[in-house]
Amino acid sequence: MSGAVRPPRRLAPDGFRAGVVACLPTVLGYWSIGFAAGGIGTVSGFSPLEVVGLATVLYAGSAQFLFYSLVLAQADTLALVLAVLLVNGRYVLMSAALAPFFRGRGWGEKLAAGLLLTDETFGVAVQRARAGGGLPFPWLLGLNLGAYVNWGVANLTGALLARHLPESMLEALGFSLTAMFVGLLLFTCLESQTRGLELVAIAVAAIVVLALAALAPLPLVLLVATTMGALASALLALRRARGGRRWLRPSC
C-alpha cells in the first residue's frame, strides 16, 4: 500500500456544501434575532412547540414579532393576515430580482428558491450573482437551508431559555439582524460595477421613506420606497444603455 497522503477534498464552488459555507457569515445574525423571536414568543404566552411551528412555517422575523404583538392586542384574523402579508411584501421584489437567474428552470427549483428566501440569503446570493458566478440551484439550496435550520433552532433555544432572561435583553437582540443586513448591503454596493445606479435607488428610497413615514404604515412605506427606488434606477439604466450620462456607467 502506498503511504502517500491524499490532498484535502475541495468544495465544489456550485455545490450544496459551498452554499452552506456561504451562509456561515450570517449565522450569528440569525441566532441573535431568532433567539429574541423565540423568547418573545414564550413571553407572549406561546409554547415552545408553537413558537417553532410559527418560525418554520412563517419564517420571517419581522412578521413573527408583528404576529405576537397583534395576538396580544387581540386583533382579528383578517387584520393579522393582511398585516403579515404587507410586512412580507418585499419578498415579491426580491424574488423578482433573482428571477432572471432561473430562466429555463423547472417550477420545483423556482418554488424551493422563493419559499426559503430571506433578506440575508438574498444579499449573499446577489453578491455571488454580481461576481459572475450565477446562482446554481444546489448552491442556493445549501445557502437557504443553512439559514432555515439555524433560524428554527435559534427560535427553539430562545423559547426554552426565555423565562431565565430579562425581556429587555431579548428586545435588544432584535437590532443585530438589521445591522448585519446593512453590512451586506454596503459590501454589495462597494463591490458593484454599477454603484451610481444603486446609490440613486438608495437615495430615492430614503427620500420616499422620509416623505411618507408619518402618513402611512411603515411596512407600506418601505414597499413603496423600494419600488420607487428600483424604478428610478431602472429608468436611468435604460437611459445609460441609450447613451446617457457617463457617471451611471459601470465603474472600473
Average pLDDT over residues 236-242: 73
Q: What pLDDT was estimated at residue 176?
A: 56
Q: What pLDDT was estimated at residue 163?
A: 74
Q: Which residue has the higher pLDDT, 149 or 244?
A: 149
Q: How many angstroms separate the CA atoms of 116 and 108, rounded?
A: 12
- The highest-confidence range among 114-123, 139-148, 174-183, by mean pLDDT, is 139-148
Average pLDDT, the chain: 79
Percent of the chain beyond pLDDT 70?
77
Query: Look-up: residue for cell 451586506?
Result: 184
Backbone phi, psi, residue 2, to 5°: -80, 140
Q: What pLDDT was estimated at residue 83?
A: 78
Going from N- to C-terminal start, the domains of the chain cover: 16-191, 193-252
> pLDDT digit string (tens) for 222-238?
778 878 887 888 788 77
Q: Is the predicted pLDDT of residue 245 greater than 60, yes or no?
A: no
Q: Is the predicted pLDDT of residue 1 greater than 50, yes or no?
A: no
> pLDDT digit string (tens) for 171-212?
665 565 556 556 656 666 665 666 677 788 888 888 988 998
Q: What pLDDT was estimated at residue 141?
A: 92
For the residues of 86-126, what is the DSSP string, one character each? HHTTHHHHHHHHHGGGGTT--HHHHHHHHHT--HHHHHHHH
pTM assigned to the model: 0.66
**Count of C-beta atoms within a 10 Å radius of residue 78:** 8
Element (H, E) at 25: none
Q: Is the predicted pLDDT of residue 17 greater than 80, yes or no?
A: yes
